[in-house]
């Protein structure tokens, strides 16, 4: 949700040739969970000095977007992670997502995304406005 380049760069080509798309790191290294809504936990990836997610990437703008998305997810009866995965899988070009979990509960939470993967036009418009 936070990195939209594949939609602009690849989806039309994939559709033209009938090729699916597999999303990598669909929860943005944990950013699209509620983990960072109230600061950067000391045990988080962003707190480490190495890795794909750096503390400098958790900007006020990102947190504002994530908080708004979290509010929508709660209105939908989902966690933010569930909604983010459902949003990806709602796109018919996305055939799968690659998730990484550190617990069985995270895996179960991720699998719940398919239970509520439909979005109203109003919800899609709101998501676009939030991410805009």
Domain map of the chain by residue range? 5-131
Q: What sign results for the dihedral spanned by CA atoms 81, 85, 88, 94?
A: positive
Quickly state the pLDDT bin for 50 (edges 50, 70, 90).
low
Residue with the larger pLDDT of the pair 44 and 95: 95
Quickly state the pLDDT bin for 84 (edges 50, 70, 90).
very high
The correct answer on CATH 3.20.20.100 for the domain covering 5-131 is: yes
For 76-104, what is the mean pLDDT? 92
> Residue length, the chain?
132
Lowest-pLDDT range of 20-24, 27-31, 37-41: 37-41
Lowest-pLDDT range of 7-16, 42-51, 96-105, 110-119: 42-51
Q: Output the CA–CA distances (angstroms, integers) from residue 87 to 2, 51, 114, 118, in the order listed.
A: 12, 26, 10, 8
């Amino acid at each position: 949700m936070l990195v939209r380049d594949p939609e602009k760069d690849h989806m039309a080509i994939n559709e033209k040739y009938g090729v699916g798309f597999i999303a990598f790191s669909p929860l943005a290294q944990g950013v699209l969970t509620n983990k960072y809504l109230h600061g950067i936990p000391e045990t988080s990836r962003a707190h480490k000095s190495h890795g794909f997610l750096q503390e400098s990437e958790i900007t006020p703008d990102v947190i504002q977007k994530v908080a708004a998305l979290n509010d929508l997810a709660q209105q939908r009866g989902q966690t933010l992670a569930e909604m983010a995965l459902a949003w990806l899988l709602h796109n018919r070009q996305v055939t799968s997502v690659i998730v990484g979990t550190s617990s069985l509960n995270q895996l179960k939470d991720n699998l719940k995304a398919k239970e509520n993967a439909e979005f109203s036009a109003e919800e899609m418009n709101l998501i676009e406005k939030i991410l805009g």
